[in-house]
Structures are given as structure tokens and as C-alpha cells.
């Protein structure tokens, strides 16, 4: 067909079509299949208030907008309606089954009367707090070949009209808080190479910051920041330096840095004054330090990151050349404390290595003030009084082909990831500790294979001689650096995040009897307990609805608490039986 004839043919066809349109009445289009009736948006979601930067910086006393409520990481509620005098009348208002199993580790966040929780299985649930009514549910099925050794979530972040969920397979998801629909997704890490995500994001200065798990898969850890509106990456800072970067001289000459670990799997805290975010890093990869000689910055450290640029402005390493799988992922809390008659702009960290650390923060460098064991610690012979660097007993340091025994605390630590809390009223920190748990470790040779475990270690749990308990709640005064009270759990580990309130109460689960506990914050007296559906790992939160103070918690045992429970059951001949699993949200108020 010639070009001219083609044009003519098309013109004719168009003309005919036009004539037909003008000449004949339009037939009704075939009816499309009936669409599901759009559910009218509940009024509470229509009225959903935006979470502004200012609200995150200065939350009202009755709000719980971030996993630890405030940027300093205190896990403190200024509400004081529930007190030691009335806590005995605390009763559940409603309970909501999440439909998920395994460890539920996310605190409920509340904004505008809407509660947001995340659960295992990449699920976010929005519930009307007052009624317990489901508003929406988001689920993102995991890829069938996903690499997720610890399939949990430690929470979401709220900002603007969005909810941010780091999906396990290494994808950051932004949801519309009103509908639960995806607004954008961004790939953060290569899951087939062992990068996975379980932490809540930290939102500050318009960016969403997250890190990745994978310390058992030879990842190279990082913290990355994404534009809160678009999901575009703003910066990415590795927690293991490449050759030539600051800190690279603490690694051997070879390729060990590429698989050096230092994963980031607990949310950092933020200092608005210096605009630094404090993040904790995990174990080195593989587990045995002799396979990567050197201090191995920034494994087992706190790093201070400039939120604008991601630049590392300061760091503190809790133990060099980690060989014990002591992830120091919990960030220090920001507390100004008294020492020797002066006020220290402080950082306080309860480390997995069994030491309690009092540090000093600045616009950059982090300096050592004081450190002391809070549980039995058999590995450090002491700390350098100036730098805090531990003097490691070589007999207690395992290596490839070398077994070290009676390592206390065990590789699960004196405290694992569950966060401490701090009350400015009592000036005490509250620690979920595990005493008397020790282990042995032997290094074995291991080859790196992307996405497969890269630990190179065998281990076994043991109880310290004469151990009469494991789980503890400890209270330490920040100005004296002394322990004030301890509550021992006779037959349980403690795997529960902490909440302390201005009403003078410490709330925490953590035990294998499925209970939520309330303690007198001043004295440690156990005032109230309630057995839930499963064991509680997540930290509680507190807020008001219509002027009434609520306590909210997710219950759902699993992940490593289950594993330690099983090993203790074997060690004790059946004293630590299985804990029922399956998740639920609980909301309590005084009746």
C-alpha cells in the first residue's frame, strides 16, 4: 500500500466513524463487572491528623507516635492516671488476634485515635483504639525464597499521612495511613544476599532512616536514609568502611570488610540539638574474630550519624574484634546525668556484652565516662579507665578451632534487643536482663556463599554454677551509677521491652508465663500481673483516648525467646516448657 492511499483510507475511516457517531444514538456500553462497593472511609480516618516534624519533636503527653515515644529513646509516658494505688484495677478493654504467629516485637503506635501495629508476615493493622474495630489491614506476602532468619518486625514509623514498614525482604514500604494502600516501595538491600529488615524506621528531618539485619549471612551493614515523600535514597552509610575510608585500618588487608557484618537491626535515637542520630551495630562476620584480625570498626559499636549527610561523626566500640556474637544494636538513650558534681550530656547503653555504659555525647565524638557489669561477665578483666576499652581474658575468646567455655553472658547477651526505659521522675533506667546465662563457642572454618549462613561457629548454652534464676528487671539510678532494685523471675527468662510512666509504674512482659507485669518504679514491688494469650516480647505503649489513660501491648512469643526457652528446657530437665504462640493486641485501662 502506498503512503498516499494509506492516508486516504484512514481519513475515510475517520470520517465514517464521525458520521456514525453523529448520526446514531449512542448504545450503552456493556456493563462492566460490578465493582466491589467502595467502603466509605470511616470518619476517624478522614480526620486522621498529619504527623508533623514538630509533633515528633514535641509530642503531647497523651501521645505515642514513635516506638520509644520520643527521640531520646526513653520509653517514658508522662501520663500519671494509672498509679501504684489503682493499678490493681487495670483490666483489658479489648483483645485483637493478629492472625500471625512467631515473635511479635512491635509496640502499638497511636495517632488521632488510630492504632498501628506491625506483625510478622509483613503485616500492618490499623485499629480504632476506642472500639478495637479493624480499620484496615495491609499484608505483603514474602517471596517464597526469602532469606529471613528472624521473621519479625519491631514496628512502623508515622510521618505526614504515611506509615512506613520495612518489609522483611529488604523493601521499604510507604502506606497511606488512611487506606493502608502502598504509596511507594523502595528496594533497600539484596535479600538473596542475606539482607533483611526487622526494625522500625527512624524519621527525622524529612528522611526515613533504616538499616538491615544479616549478621549471620556475611552482609556489610549500613544505615540508609530515604526521602519521606518520594522514597528516593538520600544517603547510605556502611557500618564497615571500605579500604581507604576512616576505620579501614582496623580491618585486615583482604576482602573481609565485604562480609564484615555490623548489621543494624534496632532503631536509632536522635538528638535534635546536634542533628545526630545514634545507631547501634551488631556482630562481625563471620562470628570468629581471628578470621578478621583487627578491631573491626564499626562492629559492636554506637555510631553517630549526621542526619543530613549520613557522615559518621563519632563512634564508640563496646568491644573490639567481636568473637562472641554480642550485637550492640540497641542504641544508647540520651540522658543528661550527674557525675562528680557536674552534668554530663550523656548516652547510656545497656550492652549485650553484659556491661552498662555511661558515655558522653557531643556534636561529634563520643567519650567514655564509666562502665560496669550488670550481669555476670567472665570475659572482660576490666576496662581501660580512660577509653573504656575492655581487657579481654584470652581464655574466654573463642577462635577458629579453639573452644572457649563459661562465656558469660551468652551470645544472647545480658540484655538482647528489648529496649530499656528511663523515667526523669525516678531518674532510674529499667533493664530487662538475663543473669546466669552463659555459653561455649567454637570457631569453625566457613566459606562465604551469598545468602547462606556465614557464622563459622558452634555454640551451646549453659547456666552459671549456682544459678537460681535467669530473668530480671533491674533499676539503676543514672546519677549514682548504682543499682537500686532487682526483681528476679524464678523460672523465666526476661525478653520484654520496658515502659515506665510518670504515674510511677514500670510495665513489661518478657516472661514465659505470658504475663504483663506492673512494678512500682521506685521500689520494684510487683503490683499487678495479667496472663495474655502468649508470651510478650514487645514494649508496651501508653496514651489517652477521651481523657483516659490506656496501656497497649502486643503479645506473641517466638524467634530467639523460643529458642532460649527450648535450650533451658533441655538444660533443666523440663522446667521451661513450650510457650503458646500466636499474636494479639491487648488494650488495658483502670476500671
Partner 1 sequence: MLKRAGGLVLAWLTPLDASAQGDQSARPARGDVLVRVGDATATPLTPADVTGTAVVMAWPATPAGVVRSGSRLNRLVLVRLDPASLAERSRPHAAEGVMAYSAVCTHTGCEVGAFLADEQVLYCDCHESKFDPRDQGRVIGGPAPRNLPALPLTLVDGRLTVAGAFTARPGFEQG
Residue labelled with grid coordinates 502506606:
175
Query: Any idea how long the chain is?
Result: 591
Q: How far is the CB of 454 from partner 1 (least distance, A)?
A: 11
Residue labelled with grid coordinates 558452634:
458
Q: How far is the CB of 532 from partner 1 (least distance, A)?
A: 19
Question: CA-CA distance, 425 to 520, in Å (whole number)?
Answer: 13
Nearer to partner 1, 62 or 169 (CB): 169
First to last CA, the chain: 87
Q: Does 479 bind partner 1 (CB under 8 A)?
A: no
Nearer to partner 1, 149 or 369 (CB): 149
Q: Which of 151, 166, 201, 231 is in the footprint of partner 1 by CB under 8 A? A: 151
> Helix, strand, coil % (nearest 5) of the chain?
10, 40, 50
Residue 439 is inside which H or E element, if any?
strand 437-443
Q: Which of 106, 110, 135, 148 is in the footprint of partner 1 by CB under 8 A? A: 148
Q: Does 192 bind partner 1 (CB under 8 A)?
A: yes
Are 282 and 215 contacting, i.e. CB atoms less than 8 angstroms apart? yes
Question: CA-CA distance, 164 to 177, in Å (whole number)?
Answer: 9
Q: Does 150 bind partner 1 (CB under 8 A)?
A: yes
Are 407 and 395 contacting, i.e. CB atoms less than 8 angstroms apart? no
**CA distances (Å), origin 104, targets 327, 480, 540, 553:** 20, 35, 12, 10
User: For 278, which DSSP code?
Assistant: E
Q: Which stretch binds partner 1 (CB under 8 A): 27-35, 71-79, 435-443, 449-457?
A: 449-457
Residue labelled with grid coordinates 555490623:
262
Q: Does 119 bind partner 1 (CB under 8 A)?
A: yes
Q: How far is the CB of 149 from partner 1 (least distance, A)?
A: 6
Other C-beta atoms closer than 10 Å to the C-beta of 7 total: 10
Q: How far is the CB of 121 from partner 1 (least distance, A)?
A: 3
Active site residue 54: no
Question: 536, exposed or middle or buried, with CB in 10 Å at 0-12, 13-18, 19+?
Answer: buried
Q: Which stretch binds partner 1 (CB under 8 A): 118-126, 174-182, 271-279, 509-517?
A: 118-126
Cell of 520: 512500682
Residue 409 is inside which H or E element, if any?
none
Q: Does 564 bind partner 1 (CB under 8 A)?
A: no
Q: Does 449 bind partner 1 (CB under 8 A)?
A: yes
Nearer to partner 1, 95 or 149 (CB): 149
Are 247 and 298 contacting, i.e. CB atoms less than 8 angstroms apart? yes
Q: How far is the CB of 216 from partner 1 (least distance, A)?
A: 8
Nearer to partner 1, 148 or 173 (CB): 148
Q: Does 522 bind partner 1 (CB under 8 A)?
A: no
Q: Does 364 bind partner 1 (CB under 8 A)?
A: no
Q: Does 571 bind partner 1 (CB under 8 A)?
A: no
Q: How far is the CB of 123 from partner 1 (least distance, A)?
A: 8
Residue 568 is inside which H or E element, if any?
helix 559-571
Q: What are the phi and psi torsion angles at 454 (to 5°)?
A: -135, 65
Nearer to partner 1, 15 or 563 (CB): 563
Nearest to 334 by CA among 567, 54, 154, 73: 73
Strand partners, 404: 441
- For residue 79, say if its preceding peptide bond is cis, omega within 30 degrees of 0: no
Chain mean position to CA 281: 12
User: For 54, which DSSP code?
Assistant: H
Are 379 and 391 contacting, i.e. CB atoms less than 8 angstroms apart? no
Residue 57 is inside which H or E element, if any?
helix 53-57
Q: Does 120 bind partner 1 (CB under 8 A)?
A: yes
Annotated catalytic residue, options 271, 295, 322, 325? 325
Q: Which of 54, 340, 447, 546 is in the footprint of partner 1 by CB under 8 A? A: 447
Q: Does 122 bind partner 1 (CB under 8 A)?
A: yes
Nearest to 161 by CA among 46, 321, 275: 46
Q: Which of 185, 566, 571, 590 is in the footprint of partner 1 by CB under 8 A? A: 566
Size of interface with partner 1, in residues (CB under 8 A): 31
Q: Which of 128, 190, 393, 452 is in the footprint of partner 1 by CB under 8 A? A: 452
Q: Does 531 bind partner 1 (CB under 8 A)?
A: no
Q: Does 100 bind partner 1 (CB under 8 A)?
A: yes
Give the footprint of partner 1 on residues 202-231 (CB under 8 A): none
Q: Which of 562, 568, 587, 589 is in the footprint of partner 1 by CB under 8 A? A: 562
Q: Does 190 bind partner 1 (CB under 8 A)?
A: no
Q: Which of 41, 53, 95, 146 is in the footprint of partner 1 by CB under 8 A? A: 146
Q: How far is the CB of 285 from partner 1 (least distance, A)?
A: 16
Q: How far is the CB of 220 from partner 1 (least distance, A)?
A: 20
Q: Which of 144, 466, 573, 574 is in the footprint of partner 1 by CB under 8 A? A: 144
Nearer to partner 1, 105 or 306 (CB): 105
Catalytic residue positions, numbered:
325
Q: Note the residues at the interface with partner 1 (CB under 8 A).
A: 100-102, 119-123, 141-142, 144-151, 192, 447, 449, 451-453, 558-559, 562-563, 566-567, 581
Amino acid at each position: 500500500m502506498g503512503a498516499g492511499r494509506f492516508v486516504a483510507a484512514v481519513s475515510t475511516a475517520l470520517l465514517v466513524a464521525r458520521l456514525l457517531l453523529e448520526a446514531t444514538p449512542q448504545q450503552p456500553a456493556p456493563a462492566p463487572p460490578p465493582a466491589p462497593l467502595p467502603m466509605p472511609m470511616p470518619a476517624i480516618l478522614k480526620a486522621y491528623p498529619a504527623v508533623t516534624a514538630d509533633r515528633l519533636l514535641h509530642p503531647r503527653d497523651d501521645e505515642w507516635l514513635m516506638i520509644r515515644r520520643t527521640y531520646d529513646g526513653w520509653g517514658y509516658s508522662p501520663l500519671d492516671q494509672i498509679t501504684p494505688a489503682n493499678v490493681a484495677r487495670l483490666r483489658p478493654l479489648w483483645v485483637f488476634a493478629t492472625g500471625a504467629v512467631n515473635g511479635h516485637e512491635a509496640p502499638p503506635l497511636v495517632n488521632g485515635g488510630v492504632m498501628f501495629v506491625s506483625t510478622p508476615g509483613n503485616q500492618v493493622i490499623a485499629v480504632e483504639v476506642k472500639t478495637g474495630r479493624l480499620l484496615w489491614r495491609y499484608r505483603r506476602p514474602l517471596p517464597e525464597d526469602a532469606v529471613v532468619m528472624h521473621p519479625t518486625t519491631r514496628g512502623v514509623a508515622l510521618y505526614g499521612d504515611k506509615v512506613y514498614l520495612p518489609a522483611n525482604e529488604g523493601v521499604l514500604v510507604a502506606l497511606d495511613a488512611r487506606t493502608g494502600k502502598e504509596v511507594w516501595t523502595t528496594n533497600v538491600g539484596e535479600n538473596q544476599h542475606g539482607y533483611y529488615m526487622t526494625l522500625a524506621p527512624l524519621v527525622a528531618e524529612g528522611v526515613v532512616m533504616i538499616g538491615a539485619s544479616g549478621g549471620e549471612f556475611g552482609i556489610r551493614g549500613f544505615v540508609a536514609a530515604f526521602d519521606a515523600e518520594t522514597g528516593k535514597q538520600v544517603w547510605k552509610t556502611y557500618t564497615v568502611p571500605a579500604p581507604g575510608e576512616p576505620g579501614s585500618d582496623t580491618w585486615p588487608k583482604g576482602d573481609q570488610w565485604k562480609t564484615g557484618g555490623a548489621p543494624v537491626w534496632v532503631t536509632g535515637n536522635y538528638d535534635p540539638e546536634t542533628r545526630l542520630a545514634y545507631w547501634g551495630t551488631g556482630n562481625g562476620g563471620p562470628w570468629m574474630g581471628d578470621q578478621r584480625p583487627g578491631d573491626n570498626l564499626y562492629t559492636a559499636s554506637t555510631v553517630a550519624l549526621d542526619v543530613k549527610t549520613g557522615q559518621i561523626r563519632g563512634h564508640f566500640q563496646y568491644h573490639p574484634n567481636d568473637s562472641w556474637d554480642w550485637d550492640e544494636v540497641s542504641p544508647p538513650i540520651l540522658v543528661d546525668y550527674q557525675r562528680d558534681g557536674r552534668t554530663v550530656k550523656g548516652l547510656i547503653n545497656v550492652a549485650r556484652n553484659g556491661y552498662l555504659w555511661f558515655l558522653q555525647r557531643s556534636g561529634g565524638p563520643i567519650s567514655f565516662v564509666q562502665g560496669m557489669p550488670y550481669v555476670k561477665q567472665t570475659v572482660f578483666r576490666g576496662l581501660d579507665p580512660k577509653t573504656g576499652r575492655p581487657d579481654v581474658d584470652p581464655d574466654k575468646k573463642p577462635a577458629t578451632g579453639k573452644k572457649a567455655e563459661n562465656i558469660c553472658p551468652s551470645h544472647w547477651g545480658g540484655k538482647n534487643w528489648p529496649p530499656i526505659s528511663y523515667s526523669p521522675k525516678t531518674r532510674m533506667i529499667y533493664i530487662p536482663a538475663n543473669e546466669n546465662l552463659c555459653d561455649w563457642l567454637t570457631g569453625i572454618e566457613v566459606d562465604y556463599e551469598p545468602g547462606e549462613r556465614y557464622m563459622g561457629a558452634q555454640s551451646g548454652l549453659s547456666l552459671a554454677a549456682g544459678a537460681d534464676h535467669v530473668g530480671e528487671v533491674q533499676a539503676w539510678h543514672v546519677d549514682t551509677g548504682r543499682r537500686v532494685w532487682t526483681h528476679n523471675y524464678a523460672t523465666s527468662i526476661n525478653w520484654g521491652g520496658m515502659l515506665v510512666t510518670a504515674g510511677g509504674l514500670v510495665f513489661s512482659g518478657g516472661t514465659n508465663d505470658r504475663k504483663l507485669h506492673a512494678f512500682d518504679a521506685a521500689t520494684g514491688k510487683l503490683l499487678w500481673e495479667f496472663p495474655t494469650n502468649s508470651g510478650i516480647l514487645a514494649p508496651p505503649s501508653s496514651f489517652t483516648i477521651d481523657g483516659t489513660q490506656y496501656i497497649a501491648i502486643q503479645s506473641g512469643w517466638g524467634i530467639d525467646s523460643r529458642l532460649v526457652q527450648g535450650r533451658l528446657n533441655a538444660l533443666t530437665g523440663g522446667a521451661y516448657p513450650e510457650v503458646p504462640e500466636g499474636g494479639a493486641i491487648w488494650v488495658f485501662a483502670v476500671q
